[in-house]
Structure 1
Amino acid sequence: MTSTEKQDAQHGEFRKFLPDLDTPRFHAIAKNDAYGHAKELLEHHRPPWLYGLYVHWRKLFEEPFKGVTNDGTIRPNLFPIRDEGIPITAIVAAAESITSQLTPSQAAKTTLHIDSPEWRSWSNPEFLLSDKGIRLDTITPALRSSVLALLETTLSPEGYAKAVAAMRINHFLGELVDASKVMNEHSYNFVFFGAPAVERGWGFSFYGHHLCLSVFLYRTQIVVSPWFTGAEPNFVDQGVWKGTRILHVEERLGLCLMQGLSEEEKVKARVFEEMKDGRMEKGRWNHDDQRHLCGAYRDNRVVPYEGIVVATLGDEQKELVRGILGQYLLYLPEKARELKLKDCEDWFGETYFSWIGGYGDEDPFYYRIQSPVVIVEFDHHSGVFLANSEPAKFHIHTLLRTPNAGDYGFALRKQIGGGVEQEYVWEG
């Protein structure tokens, strides 16, 4: 059996965990569209655990934006204004194709102020918790094509292909659990922040189940952060998109990195042996994010460094770290990606690699790479729609944050002016 065949067999394990659709939960989601499904949570508080998390999220949203840090203090002067070679003229033209098609009511919901706190109101569950902008599965095909054309023009070819794959896998999951009205290839919202312009800062958010992208653009510079990408399962084994898979490279490189460490290095890197370890402090694990620390609404979280310093590792392990970071920077066009990777390498002396779980070939795991200029997380999850009660390698969540106020292009926006002179508080 080839490595690819072995991987296909491993990820095909998800079919052992297909849920019983003859239950109230799946009856409810089958009959609802996205808005009816959201009503179940927001008005009827079902499921209770997610409603409780949502209430907590909104409390976090009331906090003025500060940014993720390792110790509570923002480090200044980490993100310079620079030329990253972004084709801004083509991107603006693609964006204006969208604005030219919006109705007045759509425009009111879709073009928000550059400093709107709604930058921060994205989330990765399938529930439509923040109904702003336009939703791709409810608009005209021409307008939907224009939104996707903007994504394709802005992201790298590889990054766009990854985003499309995540959307298709979401569609596949919707078919598996008879929830296609809520989870499909186009069940995503899109919103502008600021007016598209060649010389001024602006951006957009594209978000929905298992794919959330925050994009800021200023002249020829780009920030794609925070972003979230997940899949349950992460492999399509039948249908028109059979063979589609994502997040397997990040998985393989992370495991190779951990397995290649010396025994002493493994002990330093491994902060918890179990995926839900009894030694975890309160708040370290939650039902939605599980081991992730920097998910939706965690814009101001203090995440202390832990694990092993990358600069102390051998050349082979450092190269694996570069490979992992390259995958997490894949949404960026080539020149921007190279510059950002160089930024990350410059901080290897203060870059930490940490691990939770086992590190055998079949073991689920979590890892994080964290420095002053980037945080990336990888986590194998238990089932949300599938019935596996323990973390499995076919359900993956990944995310990237830019700490020290780099998310949403905030650090750059403070430098270029035209806003961000005050902290915004959501007032409900």
Structure 2
Amino acid sequence: MTDAAREVASRMAAAAEEWLDSLDVDQRLVAVGPPPAAGSVAEAERTRWFYTPTDHGGLTFHRQRPAQHRLVMRLVASGLSEAGYTTVATVLGLENVLDRVEGFSVHWGRERTRDPGMYYLRIFGEPGGTRPWGWRFGGHHVSLNYLVVDGCVVATTPCFLGADPAVSPLLGGVKLRPLGTSEDLARELVRSLRPDPARAVLLARAPNDIVAGNSTRIGDGLVKRRELWRPGQHVPDRADEPVTGLDGADQRALALTPTPKGVPGSELDAAQRELLRALLGTYLDRVPDEISPMSRYDDPGELDAVHLAWAGSITAGEPHYYRLQGPRLLVEWTNIHRGVNHAHAVWRDPETDFGGDVLAAHHAAHHAR
């Protein structure tokens, strides 16, 4: 781990400590969770994550003063690149845009449904200490998860961003597309495949959502729609339906498997490989360079192992899904709903989401009897 990467962890700890110091006793009771501990019951909360407008666990903006809001965003910025931070801030603001799109008329039994104040921050453990600690920031269409062990950031995933609407008009005839490049590059890449782009298409129909949903571990089985929400809160229609809306052969066609499906990077030409690398950057460059795995793909062999798979139409403006899968990598994208104007885009590390493997190794080394 480089000194620069340790500096990112140090900035995170300083920002987290300043925020915690600003809280009163009642705020701290909600804001602080138990320290990360491999295999403990408490880990079930740290590793339970959401991307819907539900209770993500932690202290909301609503329960804080404006000065504390600023400290929250300082911590959020410490875990993101400049472009990543701008994108997250834009997604938060889209709640107001979505409210207007829906005619300010959606009511789910709370004071405001589309609510930019309903984003949650929770610290797990003691920042900057010798023991592992982590933090989580999330709300509608945002889930950021970090773990620090031995003064190093060891996990930055799951990292979820969404946009609803995915495209919004701005003055002057331009459009706001916070995640647009992730869509455009993928479509350009799949359409460039020769002799037939269909060799990357697993299914003619796009799923209703990302296949892994909000699973704690990839491969733990089908995620149901009700699992996208904290129990006791909003319950979606067809709650026991898989998030994908698929079953039978369609579900099997898109199921995540240890051996990736689709077209590997090894079969791409030089121009296509550049497209693939640029597409990876729209996910892995969400975090600062010092803790991003993007440099891994400077190795041609690593890029060879990344597979592109698609579902749905390859025509712009029609429902579609894609994923990138390889060693220590899973990216999923979908744009289906609201007239293909509602995007989900998640980056995960199947081996060490939430830093579980590093945490286990740390406890084996430091807490073994």
TM-score range, shorter chain: 0.7 to 0.9
Q: Is the 8 A contact 1:308 1:353 kept in 2?
A: yes
Q: Is the 8 A contact 2:145 2:157 kept in 1?
A: yes
Residue type of the alignment partner of 1:190: L
Structure 1 unaligned regions, length at least 5: 1-80, 276-284, 423-428
Partner residue, 1:67: none
1:403 and 2:350 correspond: yes
Q: CA RMSD in A?
A: 2.7
Displacement after TM superposition at 1:300 (Å): 3.8
* Higher RCO (C-alpha under 8 Å, 6+ residues apart): 1
Q: Determine the C-alpha separation between the residues in 1 that align with 2:315 and 2:88.
A: 29
CA pair 420-407 structure 1, distance change in 2 beyond 3 A: farther
1:368 and 2:328 correspond: no
1:292 and 2:213 correspond: no
Displacement after TM superposition at 1:420 (Å): 11
Residue type of the alignment partner of 2:63: T
Q: Determine the C-alpha separation between the residues in 2 that align with 1:112 and 1:118.
A: 9
Q: Secondary structure at the match of 2:292?
A: helix
CA pair 125-221 structure 1, distance change in 2 beyond 3 A: closer
CA pair 418-237 structure 1, distance change in 2 beyond 3 A: farther
Q: Determine the C-alpha separation between the residues in 1 that align with 2:54 and 2:164.
A: 16
Structure 2 unaligned regions, length at least 5: 38-42, 221-255
Q: Is the 8 A contact 1:377 1:398 kept in 2?
A: yes
Partner residue, 1:148: 73
Residue type of the alignment partner of 2:133: W
Partner residue, 1:104: 25
The number of equivalent residue pairs is 315
Partner residue, 2:159: 227
TM-score by length of 1: 0.67
TM-score by length of 2: 0.77
Partner residue, 2:289: 334
Residue type of the alignment partner of 2:17: E
CA pair 220-83 structure 1, distance change in 2 beyond 3 A: farther
CA pair 200-243 structure 1, distance change in 2 beyond 3 A: farther
Q: Determine the C-alpha separation between the residues in 1 that align with 2:203 and 2:66.
A: 48
Q: Determine the C-alpha separation between the residues in 2 that align with 1:238 and 1:267.
A: 35
Q: Is the 8 A contact 2:277 2:297 kept in 1?
A: no
Displacement after TM superposition at 1:105 (Å): 2.4
Partner residue, 1:36: none
Aligned residues with identical type, % of pairs: 23
Q: Determine the C-alpha separation between the residues in 1 that align with 2:115 and 2:299.
A: 35
Q: Determine the C-alpha separation between the residues in 2 that align with 1:117 and 1:343.
A: 36
1:260 and 2:181 correspond: no
CA pair 359-238 structure 1, distance change in 2 beyond 3 A: closer
Residue type of the alignment partner of 1:94: A
Partner residue, 2:45: 118
Displacement after TM superposition at 1:157 (Å): 1.0
Q: Determine the C-alpha separation between the residues in 2 that align with 1:309 and 1:245.
A: 28
Q: Determine the C-alpha separation between the residues in 2 that align with 1:374 and 1:148.
A: 27
Q: Is the 8 A contact 2:203 2:312 kept in 1?
A: yes
Partner residue, 2:306: 351
Q: Determine the C-alpha separation between the residues in 1 that align with 2:268 and 2:176.
A: 34
Partner residue, 2:362: 416
CA pair 416-234 structure 1, distance change in 2 beyond 3 A: same
Displacement after TM superposition at 1:237 (Å): 2.6
Q: Determine the C-alpha separation between the residues in 1 that align with 2:281 and 2:178.
A: 15
Residue type of the alignment partner of 1:144: H
Instruction: Determine which of 100, 122, 125 is the counterpart of 1:194.
Output: 125
In the TM superposition, 1:75-114 aligns within 5 A as: 85=5, 86-113=7-34, 114=36
Partner residue, 1:316: 271
Q: Determine the C-alpha separation between the residues in 2 that align with 1:362 and 1:312.
A: 27
Q: Determine the C-alpha separation between the residues in 1 that align with 2:28 and 2:92.
A: 24
Deviation sequence 1:113-143 (CA, Å, 0-9, x none): 2233212222122233x4x310113321111
CA pair 106-346 structure 1, distance change in 2 beyond 3 A: farther
Q: Determine the C-alpha separation between the residues in 2 that align with 1:245 and 1:186.
A: 22
Q: Is the 8 A contact 2:297 2:303 kept in 1?
A: no
Q: Determine the C-alpha separation between the residues in 2 that align with 1:268 and 1:420.
A: 49
